[in-house]
């Protein structure tokens, strides 16, 4: 490829002679007789080299040099200077000239200097390319590293969660074993207490104060019984019947008992349930416990009102139910514990609700995820495989 050279000189003779010499040496030469017009030419032709006269009327050679170097960094400049201007030469080199040639010059020398500068230019440009390439590669490596770190972090979190879930499952199994026996033992005497208390109550029609005490006994016994039933259900599956059911029906049915409470607390319900959701194989009552526990927790958090959003979507493999509230949220350091049996922050809570939820979701080979920020509400997502 012929290298392009632009000669800028106000002397016609120099322009023509130099142009002839360089063309005969195989360069692609253009000429212009003033610096001012050279800029447009450089922009359009992008010459490798400009031979620029230092002494020209109108435009100062040094200024022209600076302008060219600044605007076209890939175009190198050799300056022509008059004899006796060596200090000027130093200044020119500082301002970015690749070389300078004293006028009048010997043609052979000129060509030699030009070839030299072009060689240096091509090395420098290649160097610049390599540096850029290196920077790009470094950037890419950094990006990969970051990606890798993120993936490791994600995997670690997933592993931790899986590990936690295994521990939890084991805990629930042990608890189930223990509680099944204990609950059975406790419920029998409890049943007797309740029966006798009812007998006593029947005999106290004329003593209202005493009667109210026996009623208290009955209510408290009922409360203990409810706790025992709940304890049992965290760990042990009750008798179930699998049927083809629609999740939207289950959600609707389990929302019903909460409607009154919602109205009383000033909670708005936002329901987005897809009509005609594909069916899944499950026990409707069992699956219903998942939603009623989530609704109950959500409403507990919105005593001063708020919004309960229930959304149901699906792809061709899973249904996704989202239950979101605008309550107080869950502090970050509780997030790992909320599914533990007995973990509760409520005065009268058992801490069984979410254990039951998790157990049932796992029973149906589903997944559960919780997102929460203190102060801005909580969102539970539940994925269930379709039939
Ligand atoms: N929607 C929610 N917003 C804020 N905190 C929640 C929410 N759901 C659960 N939690 C937190 O998780 C804890 C455990 O919930 P879980 O349902 O297992 O038990 P509980 O609600 O405390 O007791 P119970 O379900 O027996 O009434 C709660 O005490 C509460 O701190
Ligand atoms: Mg609960």
10 Cα to the center of ligand 1, angstroms? 89
- pLDDT score of 151: 96
Q: Report how many domains make up the chain.
A: 2
Residue 153 lies in a domain: no
pTM of the predicted model as reported, rounded to 2 decimal places: 0.61
Look at the alpha carbons of 169, 175, 178, 182 in this order and tell me if their dihedral is positive or negative: negative
Ligand 1 atom 27, closest CA = 349
Interior angle at CA 346, CA 343 and CA 348, nearest 5? 105
258 assigned to some structural domain: yes
Q: How confident is the model at residue 56, as a pLDDT?
A: 84
Domain boundary (47, 73, 105) is at 105
Parent domain of 247: 239-387
Lateral strand order in the sheet of 49-53: 28-32, 4-8, 49-53, 76-82, 99-103
Q: Which helix (H) or strand (E) holds 324?
A: strand 318-325
Please tell me the distance between residue 356's alpha carbon and the centre of ligand 2 in angstroms: 9
For 297, the token pair is 């927790």
Q: What is the pLDDT of residue 150?
A: 96
* CATH number of the domain bearing residue 48: 3.40.50.2300
pLDDT at 32: 95
Residue 363 placed within a domain: yes
Can you give the pLDDT at residue 1? 73
- Does some domain include residue 89? yes
| Residue 223 maps to a domain | no
pLDDT tens per residue across all 387 residues of the chain = 789 999 999 999 999 999 999 999 999 999 999 988 999 999 999 999 999 999 888 888 899 999 999 999 999 999 998 867 778 888 999 999 999 998 888 888 999 999 999 999 999 999 999 999 999 999 999 999 999 999 999 999 989 888 888 888 888 778 778 888 888 889 999 999 999 999 999 999 999 999 999 999 999 999 999 888 888 877 677 788 999 999 999 999 999 999 999 999 999 999 999 777 778 999 999 999 999 999 999 999 999 999 999 999 999 899 999 999 999 999 999 998 999 888 999 998 889 899 889 989 989 999 999 999 888 899 999 999 998
Q: Measuring from each residue's beta carbon to the nearest atom of ligand 1, which residues come in under 6 Å?
A: 293, 297-298, 301, 325, 327-330, 338, 343-346, 349-355, 378
Nearest-5° Cα angle at 158, 152 to 162: 140
Question: Tell me, what's the pLDDT at 70?
Answer: 96
CATH code (residue 281): 3.30.565.10
Structure tokens given for 35: 């610096």
Answer whether residue 280 is part of any domain: yes
């Amino acid at each position: 490829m012929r290298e392009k050279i632009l000669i800028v000189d106000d002397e016609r003779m120099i322009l023509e002679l130099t142009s002839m010499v360089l063309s005969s040496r195989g360069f692609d030469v253009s000429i212009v007789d003033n610096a001012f017009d050279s800029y447009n030419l450089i922009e359009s032709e992008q010459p490798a080299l400009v031979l620029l006269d230092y002494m020209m009327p109108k435009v100062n050679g040094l200024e022209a040099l600076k302008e060219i170097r600044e605007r076209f960094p890939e175009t190198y400049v050799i300056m022509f200077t008059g004899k006796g201007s060596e200090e000027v030469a130093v200044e020119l080199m500082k301002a970015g000239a690749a070389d300078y040639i004293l006028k009048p010059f010997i043609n052979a020398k000129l060509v030699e200097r030009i070839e030299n500068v072009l060689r240096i230019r091509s090395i420098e440009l290649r160097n610049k390319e390599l540096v850029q390439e290196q920077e790009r590669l470094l950037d890419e490596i950094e990006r990969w590293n970051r990606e890798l770190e993120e993936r490791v972090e994600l995997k670690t979190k997933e592993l931790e969660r899986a590990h936690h879930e295994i521990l939890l499952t084991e805990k629930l199994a042990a608890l189930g074993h223990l509680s099944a026996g204990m609950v059975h033992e406790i419920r029998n005497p409890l049943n007797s207490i309740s029966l006798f208390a009812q007998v006593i109550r029947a005999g106290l029609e004329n003593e209202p104060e005493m009667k109210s005490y026996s009623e208290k006994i009955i209510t408290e016994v009922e409360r203990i019984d409810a706790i025992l039933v709940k304890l049992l259900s965290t760990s042990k599956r009750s008798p179930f019947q699998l049927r083809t059911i629609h999740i939207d029906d289950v959600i609707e049915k389990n929302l019903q008992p909460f409607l009154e409470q919602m109205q009383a607390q000033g909670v708005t319900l936002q329901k987005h349930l897809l009509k005609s959701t594909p069916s899944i194989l499950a026990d409707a009552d069992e699956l219903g416990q998942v939603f009623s526990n989530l609704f109950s927790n959500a409403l507990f958090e919105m005593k001063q009102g708020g919004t309960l959003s229930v959304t149901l979507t699906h792809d061709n493999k899973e249904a996704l139910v989202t239950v979101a509230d605008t309550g107080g949220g869950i502090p970050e350091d509780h997030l790992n514990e909320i599914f533990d049996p007995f973990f509760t922050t409520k005065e009268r809570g058992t801490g069984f609700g979410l254990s039951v939820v998790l157990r049932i979701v796992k029973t149906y080979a589903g997944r559960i995820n919780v997102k929460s920020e203190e102060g801005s509400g909580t969102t539970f997502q539940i994925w269930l495989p379709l039939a």
